Amino acid sequence: MNALLPGETFDESAKRMTASSDRPPAVEVLSAEKVFTNGTRGLAPIDLSIADGEFLTLIGPSGCGKSTLLKLIANLIEPSDGRLLWWRGGFAQVGEEGRRLAFVFQEPTLMPWARVDANVRLPLELADVAMAKAAPMVADAIERVGLSAFSRHFPQQLSGGMKMRVSIARALVTNPNLLLMDEPFGALDEFTRNKLDDDLVRLWWDRKLTTVFVTHSIYEAVFLSTRIIVMAANPGRIFRTMTIDQPQPRDGSFRDSPKFAAYCRELSTWLAEASLPIASGSVS
């Protein structure tokens, strides 16, 4: 893949390789659908390609299958039909060579008996990574979420936002290429949520992480995403797609811009349409 074309310098080759159109997509969902054992159609067949380095947000009314789609992408559940590809193949586990994915739940799901550093070390320990090798990785992940001063604290000594940061650090410690987040900041107050969103944008940008994010918040979706997928229910399907073509990495000033408000307004209208009993619009 990295071979030089005739007459091409190494730099040009690198540029070509990093141009988004040339890179293989991070995730391809190939007409995957989900029918639950009780017969409910959770997801109609969905086709979706997630580009490498993209920040994709899934939003929609409850029951639209956004969490189901995220779990399919995370390989937490199997599609009833169709299939998924990660970087045109599979993904690697922690400790293996290759590209990895990490999942952040709605709840921090920390071990209350373990200190912050031990909690962050967990995925490495489960993959039998040696203590000595794990220590700098853990310290780095904790620093990235700004909790270095709290690495010897217990979860119960931390606020809700800080616990969520620990949860994110635990996901980052495995050095994932694809970060999947299921309404991670849903239980936090708006101020904390905005702060964590700011930090998430920076993390995503610095690490060139491909991120798939599920949220209920229109503002959060517009602020974070490069692309937003609006989903509709009965059965769960992609309703519309919105591209947020704004400079990166974004910061608080984007929230105050008129463009931000315009995006939010439009997204809000779409969501209202997606929530109608018989939603018009494309079923891809």
Partner 1 sequence: MKPLLQSETFVRIAAPVGVGIVLFCLWEIGFRLAVVPVYLFPKPSDIFTSLMHNGPSLLRALLVTLRVTLQAFALAVVLGTLIAFVFVQSRAIEISLFPYAVLLQVTPVVAIAPLIIILVKNTQLSLTICATLVALFPIISNTTLGLRSVDPGLANYFRMNRASRLKTLIKLRIPGALPYFFGGLRISSGLALIGAVVAEFVAGTGGRSSGLAYEILDAGFTLDIPRMFAALFLITLTGVVLFGAMVALSKAALSSWHESEIRAET
Determine the Cα–Cα distance for residues 49 and 46; give it in Å rounded to an integer: 10
User: Count residues contacting partner 1 (CB under 8 A)?
Assistant: 20
Q: In whole angstroms, what is the distance from residue 231 CA to residue 278 CA?
A: 13
**Residue 91 contacts partner 1 per CB under 8 A:** no
Binding-site member from 122, 135, 137, 139 for partner 1 (CB under 8 A): 122
CB of 169 to partner 1, least distance (A): 14
Would you count residue 92 as binding partner 1 (CB under 8 A)? no
Handedness of CA 19, 227, 209, 30 (dihedral sign): negative
Which stretch, 15-23, 118-126, 186-194, 214-222, contacts partner 1 (CB under 8 A)?
118-126
Identify residue 50 by its one-letter amino acid code. I
Among 86, 87, 91, 103, binds partner 1 (CB under 8 A): 103
Nearer to partner 1, 51 or 94 (CB): 94
Q: How many CB atoms lie within 10 A of CB 197?
A: 22
Q: Quick check: 243 binds partner 1 (CB under 8 A)?
A: no
Q: Diameter of the chain by CA atoms?
A: 60
The two tokens of residue 197 are 């969103």
The whole-angstrom separation of Cα 154 and Cα 141 is 17
**Binding span for partner 1 by CB under 8 A among 84-92, 124-132, 136-144, 270-278:** 124-132
Shortest Å distance, C-beta 173 to partner 1: 12
88: left (phi over 0), alpha (psi -120 to 50) or beta: left
Q: Which is nearer to partner 1, 106 or 194 (CB)?
A: 106
Question: Residue from 6, 39, 112, 277 that binds partner 1 (CB under 8 A)?
Answer: 112
Six-digit token pair at 196? Answer: 């964590």
Q: Does 76 bind partner 1 (CB under 8 A)?
A: yes
